[in-house]
Structure 1
Amino acid sequence: MNRAFKYLLTGFTAMVLLSCKSTKSVYVFTSFHEPANEGLRFLYSYDAYHWNDLNHIYLKPEVGDAKIMRDPSICQGPDGTFHLVWTTGWKDDKGIGHASSKDLVHWSPEEHIDVMGYEPTAKNAWAPELFYDDEAGQYIIVWASCIPFRFPKGEEPEDNNHRLYYTTTKDFKTFAPTKLFLDPGFSVIDAEILKRGKNDYVLVMKDNTRPNRNILVAFASNPLGPYHDYSKRFTELFSEGPSAIKAGDNWLIYYDSYRLKRYGAMRTTDFKTFTDIADSVKVPEGHKHGTIFKVSKKVLAGLKQAAGQP
């Protein structure tokens, strides 16, 4: 082989490898531990199946009367900023928490967004989930709230008959008035919007009714709905907090199987048939309801450094 050509080929190969290495992303799973008073934790994975605990608190809860952080949901915007929302109280708290970060280590001052303050009898604002609508150029925040005697109830008491609500924002400074997001005819919580393609969205949620308390999906052509074609419940009883991510050709749906005291996982390609892969995944003990997203290896390196890990 010509020496000059060999040198060029070697250099080109090195550039390709360097480029692949620098752009390769890893999966991060937001987390908290009960009783939820410590703050934001992270897990990470290179394959979305086997998770490692960074074992570090990155943000301590400071807003809301209860000073807790449950159900942390993170979404990265087009400007690279990560936005975090979370549950700040079990009951008698009509707001949610918000903070932002460029690197997941250094955070802005925390804010308490009073999303249900306009409803005098609202009991809560649970498990806010963030979704960035790239077609409308706005963030959608969806959460569950209970307003007693507002909706027909099944076997639930009036203070546990939830529906989904939402607001939108472009800058987390001004927010659209809260509106009803979904009334499926039953108590529903823990909803996450997924985008499969243009005009193709999936809503993963928990049926919170007493006979069920497990996970299902529905479909829409717009992230704000209307959602239709509700699936059968495809997880065991007493499961909640679904978090989904696409890994290769598959979608993985993780959920907290709280009666079995473990994390469950389902795999699907079409959200119609689901395969139980709980025995094939590894989730650290103590991990609770979060969301999964991708970050660069540089961001992961910063998380590890802050946690004192090599």
Structure 2
Amino acid sequence: MKNYTLLLSLLFVFGCAEKETDRYLFSYFKDNGQDGLHLAYSEDGLQWTAINKDASVLQPTVGNDKLMRDPCIILGGDNKYHMVWTVSWKEKGIGYASSTDLIHWSEQKFLPVMQHEAAARNCWAPELFYDEKSKEYILYWATTISGRFPETDALGDDGYNHRMYYTTTKDFVKFTDTKLFYDQGFNVIDANINKNHQGYLMFLKDETLLPNPQKNIRIATSKDLTGPYSAPSEPITSNWVEGPTSIKIKGEWIVYFDRYTNHKMGAVSSSDLIHWKDISDDIVFPEGTRHGSVLKVKKSTLNKILSQYDKVKK
């Protein structure tokens, strides 16, 4: 009996020793997104180190402009990583690819999600969220449809007047009809969805330029993934930022964003989603990082990536 107890104790100790520690991966683009996907990693969500010496790990192949801006990567219910991105400034679709290891990627596809809208000008900043309940993925993005919301046509940049749209899919082959996702009477872009115990959070950018520039990040909430989402909160960031992406680390929410006029990344943190602290001085990103998405990964997954590109382990 003593030997059996000792064996159980040893199994427990070694099991704890083998338990994986989470790491964090940040997908981003540089410059205009023409060279493709960049990756960085972190152990604490604050200090970020470039992978592959900050060179691209995936070249864009779809779209007329062949860009890979605003990359968003999530882990799906099929244990695959799914990525979407902005392929062009003026096309009516987005890019898509999948991977089992974040190293080898499937053939890239162009998803024509707004092809049915003759007056659609663009499809920007797409993101994904996997709904464990319905086993579906929601794919959402910002589009300007000329003349669709005339009351705010003159309040943005160069006639752009975005609203959020979405579609759902189980397999990235068949998609539901595109629907309006978020419209609260203002120009909105760069939505990022996360889940908390009360429902769903949508971090979004108020893209209003006139009469008083906003260009800040706010929060909308919903009990259901597909909405309706609430009116936006007061800004949680300063103005002239974009591309929010969010994660919860050790009980603290962190929202990263692109301070694009200063050519630096920024971040705010909160434990209650009400009181926010600017922690931009506490974070370090590779020089030239533009916005993307943050993802929690297993230590073993990160080690395989680092072994592939940097010949090291963390």
TM range (shorter): over 0.9
Q: Provide closer, same or farther for how the CA distance between residues 116 and 220 of structure 1 changes in structure 2, counting only shifts above 3 A.
A: same
Q: Specify whether residues 139 and 301 from structure 1 end up closer, same or farther in structure 2 by C-alpha distance, changes over 3 A only.
A: same
Structure 1 residues 119 and 3, CA gap change in structure 2 (3 angstroms): closer
In the alignment, what sits opposite 1:259?
261
Which range is displaced more, 113-122 or 295-304?
295-304
- Unpaired runs of at least 5, structure 1: none
Query: Deviations for 1:135-194, whole angstroms, at most 9, x for unmatched residues?
Result: 221000110000111102152257311100001000001011111001111100000111
Partner of 1:249: 251
Question: In the alignment, is the contact (CA less than 8 A) between 1:95 and 1:117 conserved in 2?
Answer: yes
The corresponding residue for 1:81 is 80
Q: How does 1:179-218 map to 2 (within 5 A)?
A: 179-197=179-197, 200-210=199-209, 211-218=213-220
Question: How many equivalent pairs are there?
Answer: 304
| Paired residues of 2:263 and 2:288 also in contact (CA < 8 A) | no
Cα distance in 2 between the residues matched to 1:157 and 1:262: 22
Distance 1:102 1:36 in 2: 23
Maintained 8 Å contact 1:215/1:240 = yes
User: 3-state SS of the aligned residue for 1:292?
Assistant: strand
Deviations 1:27-75 (A, max 9, x none): 1111111121111111111111111110242211000000110000011
Could you list the per-position Cα deviations for residues 105-141 of structure 1 after superposition, in whole angstroms to 9, with x for gaps in the alignment? 0111000000000001110000001111112210001
Match of 1:111 in 2: 109
In structure 2, the CA distance between the partners of 1:14 and 1:162, relative to structure 1 (3 Å rule), is same
Q: CA deviation at 1:229?
A: 4.3
Looking at structure 2, the residues matched to 119 and 226 of structure 1 have their Cα atoms a distance apart, in angstroms, of: 22
* Matched residue, 1:95: 93
Misfit runs of 4+, over 3 Å: 2-12
Would you say the 8 A contact 1:243–1:254 is kept in 2?
yes
Aligned 8 A contact 1:241 1:256 in 2? yes
Q: Where in structure 2 are there 5+ consecutive unaligned residues?
A: none
Secondary structure at the counterpart of residue 137 of structure 2: strand
2:235 is the alignment partner of 1:233: yes
Normalized against structure 2, the TM-score is what? 0.92
Q: Alpha carbons of 1:157 and 1:246: their partners in 2 closer, same or farther (altered >3 Å)?
A: closer
Q: How far is the alpha carbon of 1:306 from its aligned partner?
A: 2.2
Q: 1:40 maps to which residue? A: 37
- Identity of paired residues, percent? 40
TM-score (norm 1): 0.93
> Aligned partners of 1:158, 1:133: CA distance in 2, in Å?
36
